[in-house]
Amino acid sequence: MADMAAAGEEPEILFWVGCAGSFDDRYKRVTIAFVRILNHVGIKFAVLGPEEACTGDPARRAGNEFLFQMQAVSNIQVLNGYNVKKIVTACPHCFNTLKNEYPELGGKYEVIHHSQFLQGLINEGRVRVKDGQSFKGRRITFHDSCYLGRANKIYEAPREVLAALDADLVEMKRGRANGLCCGAGGGQYFKEPEPGNKDVNVERVEEALGTGADMIAVACPFCMTMMSDGVKNKNREDSVRVYDIAELIAQKEGL
Amino acid sequence: MDIFQQILFVAALAAAIWYITKRVRLITRAIKLGRPEDRTDNAGERMRVMLLVAFGQKKMFTKPLVGVMHFVIYAGFLIINIEILEIILDGILGTHRLFAPYITPVYPILIDVFEVLAFGVLAVCVAFLCRRFITRVNRLQASRHRELRGWPVSDATIILSAEIFLMIAFLTWNASDSVLRDRGVGHYGELQGIVPDFLVSQYFKPFFTGFSDTALIAYERAAWWLHILGILAFAVYVTYSKHLHIALGFPNVYFSDLQPKGEMQNMPEITKEVQLALGLPLTTEPDGSQENDNGQQPAEIGRFGAKDVYDLKWINLMNAYSCTECGRCTAACPANITGKKLSPRKIMMDTRDRMEDIQRGWQTQGNDFKDDKSLLGDYITAEELNACTTCQACINACPVNINPLDIILQLRRYRVMEESQAPASWNAMFSNIENNMAPWKFSPSDRFNWADQVNESQSK
């Protein structure tokens, strides 16, 4: 972003990578897949790079409002400094925070989740999804992220993106508004779960495996880790894969 | 009806009204313990939500069978109030079926509707008792949910039994009344030709044919009195019961959150601190802290987050009184499903229990009652709070738009910001965000490293 600004250019869109997208080895592959799609369709985008900082979502939900607002106010200064208008992000937690919680602190942007963005590209015919890997005969189940679904009522966009793959989409018993959390939200990702009978992600993966799907599609970095760990817990990592919807589209596109 | 009965009735009615007014005042006072918050914006949207969710019972129908059963009780309750109006007027004026001569053609239809609904209510209450005690619906079992142990189970049983009792009184009252009318006894006979047999109670008539006239009149009077005294007693009882949702469900939905469920409410008092810390000009928040213009310190703020009901908002407290303990929130809660201590229903019940303990304190020790207890610690434990994933399934599940997550978040804020009592790994996450601008211990300068791989692997 700094380079573009120095060159006096304005990007169409700012890609908010998020901490997981920047540092988590698994989710970095999603970031890369999404960037390849952006490059493929020729969208002029920018990222903040080292100037990006955690939105503060886990801090706020854990109760540390002070830390959240410190992060938020600094991020807003950076974003407003670059005159950012439109943001796309692959993380529903960043999405929710940027979209719903930053405006009150002075950060007003048009914020789009990458599922909506990909759906738009497919609808406009800019992504044609036919060259690469074939998904015919694969059974895919989509795991709703709480902060995409219940929090912001985005249920159909990721499903429509998956529908473009020509795979068999199967729904879990608890889906859409009744979807079961992966167990990571509200800061849970960053601590051991409280004592109980089982971990939430195991419960959710059992449900996903119950559909007979060989692929679990997610649209959130935390869901990605939790579902992958759950699949490992069930010793099914050889037969069942967890992918982000952007990766699937990139594969289909042969990118 | 003799004057003695009229006097007795007016006295009973006045006593009930006096007592209910007293209870309403007490509950209102308890709700006002909460901090102020404006929930009067967007009246049109609020009205729409209330019509849909409260009057239309929209969220009840996510479980269609229970939805229909609940609707029968709900419709029965709403519509039978017209019948109660006649009963009350009859009681005051000493008349018998006051409305019958004035609306002759409509009257039997009305009563038929009431009777069908009354029978429906009776049947559904029996079904609900079966769900609790025979088919043992999981979310209603005290053995599985500790918050239901003791009073909550009795409360539910009392309500369902009372409704069954009231409906039987109503139907048999109509039946005995019809037999008296057929026999032309006293003023009952005057309704011959005006009031016919009714749809449901006609089947109860054979039960009364062996009764003497005196015994019948005694039964008719007893049923009438039991029915109306039962209703008055029930109205008083409701103010002590989870059944208060029949009244508070409506305002509770009207004042419910309109913003997206994922949006956590801002704390303007923190914004000020942050702006001071970062050396930014202070902005005046539209909601509350507008006194800042002249550079004066705003009025002393309370604590950060909530330790007790006094720190919560009034809507959180109204939420607690509106909860009917159905447990749909808890049944949807991922933490609870996987055996953790958290139960969103318990959060709401604890909040109400806390307020009721304070009310008892007011009544026994005077209005400035304070004790050493607090909602956080004495009622709700840190273990429960820490288990929440903020997934909003509880908010989504609640048929009357209660928000348990808001209370959980405010209590978490108190623990973290006032008591510095976060779990150690959260403290590590906090310091990582503070120092590295990410929840993990990576160098901020490595944030863009992924970019190297974009072109590299693409050129493969």
Amino acid (one-letter) located at A135 = F
Amino acid at B411: L
Q: Which helix (H) or strand (E) holds B198?
A: none
pLDDT per 10-residue tile (average), chain B, 460 residues: 88 97 97 95 96 95 95 92 93 93 92 96 97 96 95 97 96 96 93 92 95 96 95 96 96 94 91 89 58 47 88 97 97 97 98 97 93 96 97 97 97 96 96 96 94 69
**Partner residue facing B412 (CB), from A63, A66, A151:** A63
Looking at beta carbons, which residues of chain A come within 8 Å of B390? 61, 146, 185-187
Task: Convert the pLDDT of each residue in A174-198 to its tens digit.
Answer: 999 999 999 999 999 999 999 999 9
Q: Please choose, from the candidates B354, B418, B408, the residue with its C-alpha nearest in 3D space to the C-alpha of residue B384.
A: B408
- Please give the Cα distance from B329 to B345 (Å, whole number): 6
User: Of B386, B430, B457, which is closest to A59 when you measure between CB atoms?
Assistant: B430
Minimum-distance CB partner of B447 among A22, A198, A255:
A22
Closest Cα in chain B, distance from residue A217 (Å):
19
Average pLDDT over chain A reads 95
Structure tokens at B393: 């399934």
Q: Residue A44 to residues A41, A214, B457: CA-CA distances in angstroms?
A: 9, 35, 21
Q: Would you call A195 exposed, middle or buried from its count of C-beta atoms within 10 A (0-12, 13-18, 19+)?
A: exposed
Q: How far is B368 from chain A (nearest CA, A)?
A: 31
Residues of B in contact with A184 (CB under 8 A): 389
Output b/e per residue, B277-309; b: 16+ Cβ within 10 A.
eeeeeeeebeebbeebeeeeeeeeeeebbbbbb
Contact state of A153 with B260 under an 8 Å Cβ cutoff: yes
Residue B301 pLDDT: 60
Tell me, what's the pLDDT at B457?
55
CA–CA gap between residue B267 and residue B104 (Å, rounded): 61
Of A28, A63, A74, the CB nearest to B415: A63
Identity of the residue numbered B165: F
| pLDDT given for residue A2 in this prediction | 79
In single-letter form, the type of residue at position B435 comes to N
Asked if A180 lies within 8 A of B387 by C-beta distance, the reply is no
Residues 6+ apart with CB under 8 A from B146: B343, B346
Partners of A27 on chain B (C-beta within 8 Å) are none
Q: Which residues, 6 or more positions from B319, have their beta carbon under 8 angstroms from its beta carbon? A: B252, B348, B351, B402, B403, B404, B407
CB nearest to B450's CB, from A31, A58, A71? A31
**Which of B408, B447, B458 to mutate to probe the A interface, most A CBs <10 Å?**
B447
- Are B220 and B183 spatial neighbours (Cβ–Cβ below 8 Å)? no
Q: Alpha-carbon distance B311 to B267, whole Å?
A: 13
Q: Which residue has the higher pLDDT, B269 or A55?
A: A55
HSE-CB of B229 using CA atoms within 13 angstroms? 11
Question: What does B42-108 look like in DSSP terms, one character per residue?
Answer: -HHHHHHHIIIIIIS-GGGGGSHHHHHHHHHHHHHHHHHHHHHHHHHHHHHHT-SSTTTTTTTTTHH
* Rg of chain A over all Cα atoms, to the nearest angstrom: 18
Please name the residue of chain A whose CA is at the shortest distance from the CA of residue B420. Answer: A64
Which of B270, B332, B448 is closest, CB to CB, to A50? B448
> A111: which strand partners?
A87
Q: Do B454 and A54 touch (CB under 8 A)?
A: no
3-state SS class at A69: helix
Q: Which of B334, B426, B438 sits opposite A19 (nearest CB)?
A: B438
Cα A189 to Cα A168: distance, rounded to the nearest angstrom: 31
The verdict on a CB contact (< 8 Å) between B274 and A70 is yes
CB contact under 8 A, B457 and A31: no
Condensed to tens digits (0 to 9), the pLDDT of residues A75-96 reads: 999 999 999 999 999 999 999 9
Q: How close does chain B come to A60, measured CA to CA in Å?
A: 8
* Mutation site, A52, A66, A71, A198, interface B, largest B CB count within 10 A: A66
Distance CA A31, CA A37 (A): 10
- List of chain B residues whose C-beta atoms are within 8 Å of the C-beta of residue A67: 430, 433-434
Q: At A86, which amino acid appears?
A: K
Complex prediction ipTM: 0.95
CA dist A144 and A149 (Å) reads: 6
DSSP state for residue B137 in the 8-state scheme: -
Separation between Cα atoms, residue B302 and residue A110, nearest integer Å:
35
What distance in Å separates residue B41's CA from the closest CA in chain A? 16
Q: How far is CA B47 from CA A152, B13, B41, B256, in A?
A: 22, 33, 11, 11
Contact residues on chain B for A185, CB-CB shorter than 8 A? 389-391
**CA atoms within 13 Å, Cβ hemisphere of B338:** 23
Half-sphere exposure of A166 (CA within 13 A, CB side): 13
**Dihedral sign of CA atoms A220, A221, A222, A223 in order:** positive
Q: Please, how many CA atoms are within 13 Å of residue A102, restricted to the half-sphere of its CB?
A: 27
Q: Do B458 and A53 touch (CB under 8 A)?
A: no
Express as a percent the part of chain A with pLDDT over 90. Answer: 89
Instruction: Identify the pLDDT of residue A3.
Output: 83
Closest Cα of chain B to A50: distance in Å? Answer: 5
Q: What is the pLDDT, as a whole number, of residue B296?
A: 47
d(CA B392, CA B389): 8
Q: Which residues in chain B touch residue A47, judged by CB atoms under 8 angstroms apart?
A: 448, 451
d(CA B294, CA B156): 56
What contacts A100, CB < 8 A, 6 or more positions away?
A151, A152, B259, B260, B262, B263
CA A46 – CA B307 distance, rounded (Å): 44
Which of A54, A150, A190 is opposite residue B396, by nearest beta carbon? A150
How many angstroms separate the CA of residue A76 from the nearest CA in chain B?
12
Chain A CA closest to residue B398: A178
Q: With contacts defined as CB-CB under 8 Å, which chain B residues touch A62?
A: 412, 416, 422, 426, 429-430
Query: Can you list the alpha helix ranges (DSSP code H) found in B366-448?
Result: 382-386, 393-397, 404-413, 424-436
Consecutive H or E run containing A38: helix A25-41
Q: Strand, coil or helix: what is A46? A: strand
Asked if B450's CB is within 8 angstroms of A21's CB, the reply is: yes
Helix (H) or strand (E) holding A13: strand A13-16
* Model pLDDT, residue B161: 97
